[in-house]
Structures are given as structure tokens and as C-alpha cells.
């Protein structure tokens, strides 16, 4: 299992470096500059690849004659990332984060090369699976690296940088991918990213020189093999749900099978008490899964709604999502400045997500100006921007030494799985009600509202910039 939830701790934030009364240097000051740039570069490259591939995949599938494997190209990456997240979390705790980052970068590059040179869609799907393994290892190991190197007071600022690192790929990734597909060759979307991943990793490596980033003293978990097996089952379940949801009525058997497998496997990957939202750390995977999943599921339906109901172009609908990404970065920046407390960021963030999605639904009424949709997504983006990194920060600070990786992995698994389920259920409701956008979006609002009520079970109020009590 993912380690026991510890008793509430009311001590100041734990750090892994010596601190004094003097303020800590900034995340881009000389002591941390190379490391911070390397971290952001890796996150940006993973984000760019995800955004660009989503844009190019229809052309890729047609070119390789593999439209029947279109959904699997995305499911394979998701399934692999769930497995790698579980493995990478414990690996980082025991051996330190540098080994899983190195293997993750190698796997990510290998997957890019396989996909870039793929002669068939089957080979491309295999490459996407290897990419998912690399991305999963990188993501969870980076969280542990943050815990090992940066003092606690800088954690919010680092996670704000991570959020900002998604903004540029969200804005330019689809446009660049479209240009490459139309004027060069879709293969260079994969091959081009592979050329710059390794230099980014080397820069990160340089930033860790002379720092204590070894393992946290944790012993190898005796049940790790079983946990990885359950991760495989969970990944298969998530893929079945995602794939089955795209097949409408024909996919109901797959949805059912995926739901049964998920009910059996998922509790074994989360923290004890997570599914009943036990106070403190166990609530984190469910809380962030609900909040993030609600917004991602809404963002699947919103562009389609704007194009079909309000006759926006694909570019115009995409701008709405870009504004949401900018809101995310802004919300993370505001939280990183330490001007609002953790509970306010988490509960208020979930409220803003619910309000933002609800406001978008008003655009279904022709008399409502389209500008409402842009404002609404800015609000939702601010909400997830405040909530998402705050959960990451608190998970690191609530974790005992040597358990940061496995606890971060549990949150990552919960986020991925809840997102898949949210997208599948909202899509199924949308289809079953005759493509009723209001019904599908209303379901995502409900998920965000549940997150609002769970927030106090995870963090209790305290002064801004301090560690919250845990229930």
C-alpha cells in the first residue's frame, strides 16, 4: 500500500536544507537557476508534446491507416503513465529522484523516436506507450526532487513555475503542430522534441550538482511488485473506460468491465482511507482528482459546444481554452506569492471551477454574449491554478521523510483515473441525452462542488503562507 496516513502534524514546514531567519533565495536566483530552468524545460517539453500530438493525431492516424486505433494511441500513454507513476514514486523514495528521471528521459526519448519513425499505427501506439512510461517517471520524480532540493517556503513558487510551463505549449503547441503537419511532416513533431529533451535534462543535472538528492532512507516496499500489478490492472481499466466511452452503446460492455476492474484495483493504489475521504493526507488524491477531472471533462465538451451551438471557428473555440490556461498560470502565481492561505486556495479554487463551468453553460442561450465564455474560463482557470499546486505543496509537507514519492504517486494516479472517469461519464451523459451539452456540463459542475465540500477534510484554515493543520 502507499504508506499509512500519519497522525496530524502541527510543526512548521519541513525542509531538507538548512535555513536561517534570512529569506530564502528565489527559485531563479543563482543557487537554483540551472535546476529551475531544467525543471521548467522538461515540463514544457512534455506539455508541448501532449498538446501537439493531440492536434496532429487525426492526420497521423489517416496517414498510417490506423483510425481504428486512434483512441488507443491516447489510452496507451495514459495506461503507461499510471504504471510508471506507481513505480517512480517508490523508486524516488528509496534511491532518490535522479535515477527515475534519467530512465524516464531515456524512455520518453525512445518513445518519441519509435513514434517518429513508425511505419504502422501499431508501432506508433507502442511508441506512445513507451512515452507514457517516461512521462510518468519524470513527473513523480520531479516532485520528489523539489522536496529534496528546495526549502519548503519555495515549494509554492516552484509549482507555480510548473503551471506556467504548461501555458506556452497550450498557446503555441497546436499552431506549431498544424504548421509542421501542413508544411513539413508530422513525424517531426515527435523527432523534433526528442532533439531537445536531453539538453534540458543535462541542465537539470547540472543544477543538482553538490546537492543531497539521494534516497530518503526508505526501505524497498515488500509489496511493490503487487502494487505494480494492481497499477497494470488500473491502467487497463482506465483504458477500457476511455475506449468504451467513445463507442457509444457498443462500448457499454467495455465500460462495465473497466468499472469493475477499477473498483477492485484503485483502492490498492491510493492512500488508506482515500475513497472515504479520511481527514488529512488520504483526501488528496480524491480532492484533486475531482477538481482536475471536472475541468478536463468540461474542456472536452466546451469547444464542441461553442462550434456547434454558437458557430465559432475551431480557432475561436481554442482561444477559450487558451484563456483558461492563462488563468491557471495566473492562479498559481498568485498562490505562489503566499498572499492566500492553503484552505482558501483549495476550497476557493474548487468554487471557481464550479462557477466557471456553470457560467459557460449560459452561453447555450443565444441572448447571452459569447464574452461570458471567455470570462468563465478565466475564472475556472484561476481556480485550478490556485488549487492544483497547493495540493502538491501540502502533500510534500504532510509526507514523512522517504514517503514523498509514493504519496505524490497516489495523488497522480487518483488525478489520472478520476479524469478518465469524469470524461467518460460526462461524455456518456451527453450522448445518452441526445447531445445535450447542459447535462454533460452539469455533471462536471457536481464533481467540482463535491471537491468544495472535501477541501476542509484535507486542510484546515491558517495564516497565508503557513502549513495548514491536517484535520
Cα 267 from Cα 410, distance rounded (Å): 10
Mean pLDDT of 209-225: 59
Question: What pLDDT shows up at residue 304?
Answer: 79
Cα 197 from Cα 259, distance rounded (Å): 36
Question: What pLDDT shows up at residue 284?
Answer: 92
Per CATH, the homologous superfamily of domain 30-220 is: MFS general substrate transporter like domains (1.20.1250.20)
Band of residue 463 on the pLDDT scale cut at 50, 70, 90: very low
Q: Which residue has the higher pLDDT, 180 or 315?
A: 180
Question: What pLDDT shows up at residue 318?
Answer: 72
Question: What pLDDT shows up at residue 10?
Answer: 33
Dump pLDDT digits (tens) for 280-303.
Answer: 889 999 999 999 999 988 887 888
Question: What pLDDT shows up at residue 77?
Answer: 82
Q: What is the dotted CATH code of the domain comprising 273-471?
A: 1.20.1250.20
Compute the half-sphere exposure of residue 113: CA atoms within 13 Å on the CB side of its CA: 11
Question: What pLDDT shows up at residue 13?
Answer: 39
Name which of 144-148, 261-265, 281-285 the model is least confident about: 144-148
Dump pLDDT digits (tens) for 341-373.
Answer: 888 899 999 999 999 999 999 999 988 998 999
Report whether pLDDT(428) > 60: yes
Question: What pLDDT shows up at residue 220?
Answer: 54
Q: Which residue has the higher pLDDT, 76 or 278?
A: 278
CB 174, CB 55: distance < 8 Å: yes
Q: At what angle do helices 404-432 and 284-309 cross, to 10 degrees?
A: 30
Residue 329, exposed/middle/buried by CB under 10 A (0-12, 13-18, 19+)?
Answer: buried
Name which of 72-76, 117-121, 136-140, 154-158 the model is least confident about: 72-76
**Domain extent listing, the chain:** 30-220, 273-471
Band of residue 218 on the pLDDT scale cut at 50, 70, 90: low
CA 425, distance to chain mean position in Å, is 19
Residues composing the chain: 471
The DSSP code sequence of 403-415 is -HHHHHHHHHHHH
Cα 32 from Cα 150, distance rounded (Å): 8
Cα 37 from Cα 142, distance rounded (Å): 13
Q: Which residue has the higher pLDDT, 27 or 87?
A: 87
Name which of 17-21, 130-134, 274-278, 411-415 the model is least confident about: 17-21
Long-range contacts of residues 262-268, Cβ cutoff 8 Å, at least 24 apart = 262/234, 262/237, 262/238, 262/417, 262/421, 264/233, 265/230, 265/231, 265/233, 265/234, 265/237, 266/234, 266/237, 266/413, 266/417, 268/1, 268/226, 268/227, 268/230
H helices within 165-283, ranges in order?
Answer: 167-183, 187-207, 224-245, 252-265
Band of residue 5 on the pLDDT scale cut at 50, 70, 90: very low
Cα 376 from Cα 362, distance rounded (Å): 10
Report whether pLDDT(243) > 90: no
The structure's pTM equals 0.78
Report whether pLDDT(82) > 60: yes
Cα 470 from Cα 454, distance rounded (Å): 12
Question: What pLDDT shows up at residue 19?
Answer: 41
SS3 at position 59: helix
Question: What pLDDT shows up at residue 308?
Answer: 82
Radius of gyration from C-alpha coordinates of the chain: 21
Q: Percentage of the chain with pLDDT > 70?
A: 86
Dump pLDDT digits (tens) for 116-133.
Answer: 999 998 999 899 999 989
Mean pLDDT of 86-105: 84
Question: What pLDDT shows up at residue 8?
Answer: 37
Q: Which of 216, 203, 201, 198 is nearest to 92 (CA)?
A: 216
Please count the other Cβ atoms lying within 10 Å of the Cβ belonging to residue 65: 10
Residue identified by cell 535522479 is 98
Cα 386 from Cα 57, distance rounded (Å): 31
Q: Do domains 30-220 and 273-471 have the same CATH topology?
A: yes
Q: Which residue has the higher pLDDT, 23 or 389?
A: 389
Q: Which residue has the higher pLDDT, 280 or 33?
A: 280
Dump pLDDT digits (tens) for 382-402.
Answer: 999 999 889 988 988 888 777
Question: What pLDDT shows up at residue 111?
Answer: 92
Mean pLDDT of 459-467: 48
Question: What pLDDT shows up at residue 20?
Answer: 44
Across all residues in the chain, what is the average pLDDT?
80
Question: What pLDDT shows up at residue 294?
Answer: 93
H helices within 4-67, ranges in order?
Answer: 33-63
CB 427, CB 194: distance < 8 Å: no
Band of residue 23 on the pLDDT scale cut at 50, 70, 90: low
Mean pLDDT of 260-271: 89
CB 31, CB 306: distance < 8 Å: no
Mean pLDDT of 35-47: 82
Question: What pLDDT shows up at residue 222?
Answer: 57
Question: What pLDDT shows up at residue 442?
Answer: 95
* Dihedral of the alpha carbons of 72, 424, 332, 193, in degrees to the nearest 10: 10
| Contacts of residue 20, Cβ cutoff 8 Å, sequence gap at least 6 | none
Report whether pLDDT(36) > 50: yes
Please count the other Cβ atoms lying within 10 Å of the Cβ belonging to residue 155: 24
Cα 128 from Cα 190, distance rounded (Å): 10
Amino acid at each position: 500500500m502507499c504508506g499509512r496516513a500519519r497522525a496530524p502534524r502541527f510543526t512548521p514546514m519541513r525542509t531538507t536544507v538548512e535555513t536561517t531567519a534570512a529569506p530564502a533565495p528565489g527559485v531563479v536566483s543563482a543557487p537554483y537557476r540551472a535546476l529551475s530552468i531544467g525543471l521548467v524545460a522538461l515540463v514544457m517539453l512534455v506539455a508541448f508534446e501532449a498538446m501537439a500530438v493531440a492536434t496532429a493525431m487525426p492526420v497521423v492516424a489517416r496517414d498510417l491507416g490506423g483510425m481504428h486505433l486512434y483512441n488507443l494511441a491516447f489510452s496507451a500513454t495514459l495506461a503507461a503513465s499510471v504504471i510508471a507513476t506507481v513505480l517512480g514514486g517508490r523508486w524516488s523514495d528509496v534511491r532518490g529522484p535522479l535515477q527515475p528521471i534519467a530512465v524516464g528521459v531515456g524512455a520518453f526519448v525512445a518513445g518519441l523516436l519509435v513514434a517518429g519513425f513508425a511505419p504502422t499505427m501499431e508501432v506508433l501506439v507502442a511508441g506512445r506507450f513507451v512515452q507514457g512510461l517516461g512521462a510518468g517517471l519524470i513527473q513523480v520524480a520531479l516532485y520528489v526532487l523539489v522536496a529534496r532540493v528546495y526549502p519548503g517556503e519555495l515549494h509554492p513558487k516552484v509549482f507555480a513555475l510548473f503551471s506556467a510551463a504548461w501555458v506556452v505549449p497550450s498557446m503555441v503547441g497546436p499552431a506549431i503542430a498544424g504548421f509542421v503537419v501542413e508544411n513539413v511532416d508530422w513525424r517531426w513533431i515527435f523527432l523534433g522534441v526528442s532533439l531537445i529533451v536531453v539538453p534540458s535534462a543535462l541542465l537539470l543535472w547540472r543544477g543538482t550538482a553538490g546537492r543531497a538528492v539521494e534516497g530518503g532512507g526508505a526501505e524497498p516496499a515488500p509489496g511493490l511488485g503487487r502494487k505494480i500489478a494492481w497499477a497494470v490492472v488500473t491502467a487497463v481499466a482506465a483504458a477500457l473506460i476511455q475506449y468504451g466511452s467513445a463507442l457509444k452503446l457498443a462500448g457499454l460492455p467495455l465500460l462495465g468491465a473497466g468499472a469493475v476492474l477499477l473498483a477492485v484495483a484503485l483502492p490498492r493504489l491510493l492512500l488508506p482511507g482515500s475513497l472515504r475521504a479520511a481527514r488529512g493526507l488520504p483526501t488528496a488524491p480524491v480532492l484533486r482528482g475531482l477538481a482536475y477531472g471536472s475541468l478536463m471533462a468540461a474542456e472536452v465538451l466546451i469547444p464542441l459546444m461553442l462550434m456547434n451551438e454558437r458557430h465559432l471557428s475551431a480557432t475561436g473555440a481554442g482561444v477559450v481554452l487558451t484563456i483558461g490556461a492563462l488563468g491557471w498560470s495566473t492562479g498559481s502565481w498568485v498562490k505562489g506569492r503566499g498572499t492566500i492561505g492553503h484552505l482558501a486556495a483549495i476550497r476557493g479554487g474548487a468554487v471557481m471551477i464550479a462557477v466557471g463551468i456553470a457560467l459557460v453553460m449560459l452561453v447555450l442561450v443565444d441572448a447571452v454574449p459569447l464574452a461570458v465564455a471567455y470570462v468563465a474560463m478565466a475564472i475556472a482557470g484561476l481556480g485550478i491554478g490556485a488549487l492544483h499546486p497547493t495540493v502538491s505543496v501540502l502533500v510534500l509537507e504532510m509526507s514523512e521523510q522517504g514517503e514523498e514519492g509514493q504519496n505524490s504517486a497516489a495523488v497522480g494516479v487518483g488525478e489520472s483515473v478520476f479524469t478518465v472517469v469524469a470524461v467518460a461519464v460526462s461524455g456518456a451523459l451527453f450522448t445518452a441525452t441526445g447531445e445535450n451539452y447542459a447535462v454533460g456540463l452539469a455533471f462536471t459542475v457536481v464533481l467540482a462542488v463535491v471537491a468544495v465540500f472535501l477541501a476542509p477534510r484535507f486542510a484546515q484554515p491558517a495564516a497565508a503562507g503557513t502549513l495548514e493543520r491536517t484535520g
